[in-house]
Amino acid sequence: MRWILALVVLLLAGAGELAAQSKGKGIRLWNLTTSTISGFQLSPAGKDAWGPNLTLNDKDKEVDHDERLRITGVEPGRYDAKVSYPDARQCLVRDIEIKADAVFSIADKDLKDCNK
């Protein structure tokens, strides 16, 4: 009977450890540009295969300066980003490294190929 109790304790401890690991903060974008971002799309680096507008996951659908946005549905890796602003300006950021449960930032100096 004691071995069953010991087994249950071990199983519960393992489940608790897995739950703690899954409670990471996830991937987050930190907007360090001087403007509010109204669109943020990712593509595998060099592919121009843009995904959905991730700012739609934010409560107000925009990411203000110094705000962080939770990024979902994206695996860690290297990406290009298409960054859009309310004034219709659009810029690219090339070769961003995105890591699991980590924050990556975009700053004005990172913006390239802006259309306005």
- Which among 52, 67, 61 is positioned nearest to 105, based on CA atoms? 67
Higher local confidence (pLDDT), 19 or 102:
102
Query: pLDDT tens across 23-40, in order?
Result: 688 999 999 999 999 999
How far, in Å, CA of 116 to CA of 103, rounded? 28
Query: pLDDT tens across 60-72, in order?
Result: 999 999 999 999 9
Contact 64, 106 (CB under 8 A): no
Predicted local confidence at residue 42, as pLDDT: 98
CATH fold for domain 25-110 = Immunoglobulin-like (2.60.40)
Contact 81, 41 (CB under 8 A): yes
Q: What is the pTM of this model?
A: 0.78
- Which among 94, 87, 4, 5 is positioned nearest to 38, based on CA atoms? 87
